[in-house]
Amino acid sequence: MASVPKAMGGILIEKTGDSSVLQWKTDIPVPELADGQILVKNEWVGVNYIDTYFRAGLYKAPLPMITGAEAGGIVAAVHESVCGFKPGDRVGYLDPARGAYAQYKAVAASKAITLPEGVTTHTAAASLLQGLTALTLIREAHHVKPTDWILVTAAAGGVGSILCEMISSVGAKIIGTAGTPEKMEQARKNGANYVISSRDPPEKIVSEIMKITGGHGCDGIFDGVGKATFDIDIEVAARKATVCTYGNASGLVPPVDVMRLAGGKNLKLCRPTLFAYLAEPEEFEQYSTELIDMLKKGIVKLANTTDYKLEDAKSAHDDLEGRKSTGKLLLQVPQ
């Protein structure tokens, strides 16, 4: 490995706001390793909706900051306290401490996984956050069974695409929503058995879902849209169903009258966050190992990605928030 420089390039956020606050800088100090950390030279960085929440100030963090939690790259250095990693290893990581939109990142070793042959750093950066989100949702938020009817909103988006692939492998029946004919076709390719336009009026969406399910409704609902679709979720939920709202693409769900969960249905409502499912090192190891196995077996395909240069992170955020993209967005890090 080449020696580690003192300064690096990265995207610095000095004030919260729209995508214009994403500034490319070349004089950011390279992080120094602390106990339990490895230094990763990033090759690819994943772009996720949570990055826009930190950038906009919806989620609070000290400023200035570098956003991004997910990347794939090469280990450049290892703290003496760490075992199991060495310089030159190819790794993927998912670190809630943020800081991935840069050439180097000091990562908790407990949040990194060595990549086997056949899984590239591009694939790791494209899959870890959204793949682990999808995997923990179908295992813990609502354990999907082959007999289930499942609603996936934004079924051509990053998490939605992987949810459809994973749920399809279980054998459950998937109803997806998407906003354009192109995205609707992508949702079908992802494994959705039925696809409804999310631009239809809410009452039409509800009617179509109930017709498709023969009046049963959906046993599990995975909703990454939030405010705009929550009322639909409650309407189409089957008796004893789980309504899982995991994202805020259209805004935060307003406060909920818990009596809406009764009404003869006895619904369960959850609002999970991924890192609470991965709080313990063994949880990250368990789920990341299972995800890597799904990638190797082709259950999760990640066939639909869009690559940008790290310096052009603004365009990636604009496309993500403008719903102009399908699948995963990635930033290529200059070497």
Looking at residues 280-295, what average pLDDT do you find? 95
Q: Give the range among 18-22, 115-119, 326-330 with minimum mean pLDDT.
A: 326-330
Select the CATH number that applies to the domain covering 7-129+276-332 from these four: 3.40.190.10, 1.10.260.40, 3.90.180.10, 3.40.50.150.
3.90.180.10
Q: Say if residues 251 and 228 touch (Cβ distance below 8 Å).
A: yes
Please give the Cα distance from 242 to 150 (Å, whole number): 10
CB atoms within 10 A of CB 56: 16
Residue 327 has pLDDT above 80, yes or no: no
Element (H, E) at 270: strand 268-270
Summarize pLDDT for 100-159 with one digit per residue, the tens: 999 999 999 999 999 999 899 999 999 999 999 999 999 999 999 999 999 999 998 889
pLDDT at 302: 81
Quickly tell me which residue has 């603004």 as its tokens.
Answer: 314
* CA-CA-CA-CA dihedral for 313, 314, 319, 320, to nearest 10: 70
Asked whether the domain spanning 145-272 has the same topology as the one spanning 7-129+276-332, the reply is no
Per domain, the residue ranges of the chain are: 7-129+276-332, 145-272
Q: Span 145-272: which CATH code?
A: 3.40.50.720
Q: Say if residues 253 and 227 touch (Cβ distance below 8 Å).
A: yes
Looking at residues 5-25, what average pLDDT do you find? 97
Please give the Cα distance from 150 to 237 (Å, whole number): 9
Prediction pTM value: 0.87
Class of residue 35 by CB neighbours under 10 A (exposed 0-12, middle 13-18, buried 19+): exposed
Residues 6+ away with beta carbon under 8 Å from 262: none
